Amino acid sequence: MAKEFLLKNVTLVDGSNTDICISDGRIAAIGSDLSCSGEIIDCTALIALPGLVDLHTHLRQPGGEQSETIATGSAAAVAGGFTAIHAMANTNPVADNVSVVSFVHDTANEVGLLEVRPVGAVTVGLEGLQLADISGMHVSTASVNVFSDDGKCVSDARLMREALAKAAEIGAVIAQHAQEPTLTQDAQMNAGEVAESLGLTGWPNIAEEIIIARDILLADELGARLHICHVSTKGAVEIVRAAKARGSLVTAEVTPHHLLLTEELAETRDALYKVNPPLRTKADVMAVREALADGTIDIIATDHAPHPADKKSGDWAEAAFGMLGLETALSIAQKVLIDDLGLGWFKVAEVLSISPARIGKLANQGQPIAVGNEANLTIVNPNAARQIESLGKSKSTNNPYAGMILPGQVMHTIFRGQFSLKNSEIQNRSEGNQ
């Protein structure tokens, strides 16, 4: 792999065109008509973004290797343009101690396609009874900055308060999966007329909103940072908006699927559309879109949740919750933010790179494309429309967008100055003696 190469005539998020020379892992020069040894890659009509960062990925390893491994999840991530992801803690064994987060960190480093940051569990075994070794995981070589029991809610208010206090003390963040369990027993899909007509137990909006409101109060009392995973309801958006207006240190994410898909897909009875939190109504989709546009919701996070086919086919009530997301997130961001809402590519960079990197405290991700910075870049062709295949780089196939035509194609993913994805369809010219 060449140590130096030139991205020729690439478009930046402000619409200007330039050349970018990458050398020894860093951005060495930016400008027109640069000379740079090594390969010249024609990037005409392609957009350069700071490498995408996901705050919410399920890699399943250790313990769920039939669904995904750190290697296959890394490949899916770079195919989707990510240069950093956060691996959720609900593995088997749970990532609630230094040993497991170190395993994830070390294994990902061996794969080496992108930066994989383990998320540490908040409670031992995700059981919600006793705090995990948050400080130990934070100071370990895995340097965990994000803690979450995702998949489960830290529903005990006393424990959540202790966790927020601990996180504030060390400068970390608690990412809450907001779901009051007493209000969602046996819940299968969004509560409402569609659930009633299908005879499925409904999942009320307030189960999500009551935890968000509670946790914001707890975080405010402590001056702690709180991150809300996968906000999905209009009411949740209103709570976060009001909290931010009065200065709460709360951040929030929305998934690609909650920006695009609605509960009517459950009428197919195809468990591909079964997800936690559930797909909601059109009014909720409009509310989370508006919140993403106005900054109430800070980021798009994939909640990439691979499952084997036998857990996503058959009876809805028996199927697993979750859908794939890494390989389609940028296309959905382009469709929603640019095509539908009329925002620009800077907004895409903000919600898929700059802000998630800031929340996760990643020093070399989400940085401006500027001389001296580590070269973590995503090069996208915004004019390509592509039919989504169910089969991608993920080991699983539970892709709810299969068959849809979405805009945008990731052409190259550059991690630490090396190609972790290089699309051979683009014409390359070689110059010099490399």
> Which residues contribute to the site for Zn ion (CB under 5 A)?
150, 177, 229
- 303 carries an active-site annotation: yes
Residue placing its CB nearer to Zn ion in the complex, 51 or 306: 306
Give least dist CB 148 to Zn ion, A.
Answer: 8
235 contact partners, CB below 8 Å, separation of at least 6: 205, 206, 208, 209
Question: For the chain, how many helices (H) and strands (E)?
Answer: 13, 19
In the complex, the smallest distance separating the C-beta of residue 325 from Zn ion, rounded to whole angstroms, is 12
User: By C-beta, is 255 or 381 nearer to Zn ion?
Assistant: 255
Residue among 303, 310, 339, 340 flagged as catalytic: 303
DSSP code for 64: -
Residue 217: partners with Cβ closer than 8 Å, 6 or more residues away: none
Angle at 406 between CA 401 and CA 409, to 5 degrees: 115
Distance CA 344, CA 63 (A): 41
Q: Which is nearer to Zn ion, 177 or 258 (CB)?
A: 177
Closer CB to Zn ion, 229 or 250, in the complex: 229
Instruction: Name the minimum Å distance from CB 110 to Zn ion.
Output: 28
Q: For residues 251 and 176, what is the distance between their CA atoms, to the nearest angstrom?
A: 11
CB of 298 to Zn ion, least distance (A): 16
**Among candidate residues 388, 367, 363, 387, the one with its CA nearest the CA of residue 376:** 367
- CB closer to Zn ion, 216 vs 414: 216
DSSP state of 79: H
Least distance from Zn ion to the Cβ atom of residue 149, Å: 9
User: Would you say 7 and 18 are in contact if contact means Cβ atoms under 8 Å apart?
Assistant: no
By CB neighbour count within 10 A (0-12 exposed, 13-18 middle, 19+ buried), where does 24 fall? exposed
Give me the active site residues, please: 303
